[in-house]
Amino acid sequence: MLVLKNLTVSASNKVILKNLNFEFKKNKVYAIMGPNGSGKSTLAYAISGHPAYRLDKDAKIIFNKNDISALPPDKRAKQGVFLSFQTPLSLSGVTVFQLLRLALSGIKDPLIVKQEIDRLAKKLHIKEELLSRSLNDNASGGEKKKLELIQAVLLDPKFLIFDEIDTGVDIDALKAIAKFLDGFKKERTIVLITHYNRILKYIKPDRVLVMLGGRIVKEGDYRLAEFIEKNGYEKYRS
């Protein structure tokens, strides 16, 4: 599904990711863990095409056999790559419905977009009043994460990265989000960047990756996440 080849990435002339080689497969859920500043969000940005992150000339990102390394973010999104931000952006004057109607114009009937948003909002216990406000304007941390999930579902991507979707959400919302993603994973690839094990209880990852200093230093099954929760990253620091 998505292959990283010699992925070395810099920002502001500083090398952040160091030669990552990995293949994310279809129908699999991945968890990426790692201490603060280890490069997890940078990896998410590099995959989604954020212009601040520059790939080395030998670095490649291959998505469904196409080299997307040089494509701008909107083209990658059109091919089915979705990133949910660690800190979701606010959009003044635009509601989630207006944004999605625009993104899906010619693809989905606006009436259906509206119905699906309402259906998901109910499932995630999002207040109706929040949907009529500008996107993420004065929304709480947890509300923003839920709105990210609504966008993910409506846009129907194939490769989804959630950067700390579990941070700042209450326990009921966490369960709802994880259960929802579990039902959504078929024919897709889901990557959960997380510091905690708790979301992984409701959506079990097939593989867990540990990042440290811009490298993938360990890969394992869900037990690796349990090990880290108990023991931290000390073992991998040498």
Ligand X SMILES: Nc1ncnc2c1ncn2[C@@H]1O[C@H](COP(=O)(O)OP(=O)(O)OP(=O)(O)O)[C@@H](O)[C@H]1O
Q: Of 44 and 100, which has the nearer Cβ to ligand X?
A: 44
The only residue of 8, 41, 69, 136 in contact with Mg ion, by rule CB under 5 A: 41
Sign of the CA dihedral 131, 134, 79, 3? negative
Q: Of 124 and 166, which has the nearer Cβ to ligand X?
A: 166
Residues 140-179, interacting with Mg ion (CB under 5 A):
none
Reading the block at residue 9, the tokens are: 């990435």
Least Å distance, CB 126 to Mg ion, is: 24
- Residue 2's beta-bridge partner residues? 24, 63
Quick one: what does residue 52 bind among ligand X, Mg ion, none, with the CB cut-off 5 to 8 Å set by partner type? ligand X
Quick one: what does residue 37 bind among ligand X, Mg ion, none, with the CB cut-off 5 to 8 Å set by partner type? ligand X
Rg value, the chain, Cα: 18
- Which of 77, 122, 127 shows the shortest CA–CA distance to 100? 77
Q: Of 52 and 112, which has the nearer Cβ to ligand X?
A: 52
Least Å distance, CB 163 to Mg ion, is: 6
User: Is 48 near Mg ion (CB under 5 A)?
Assistant: no
What gap in Å lies between CA 207 and CA 87, rounded to an integer?
Answer: 25
Q: Are 203 and 27 in contact (CB under 8 A)?
A: no
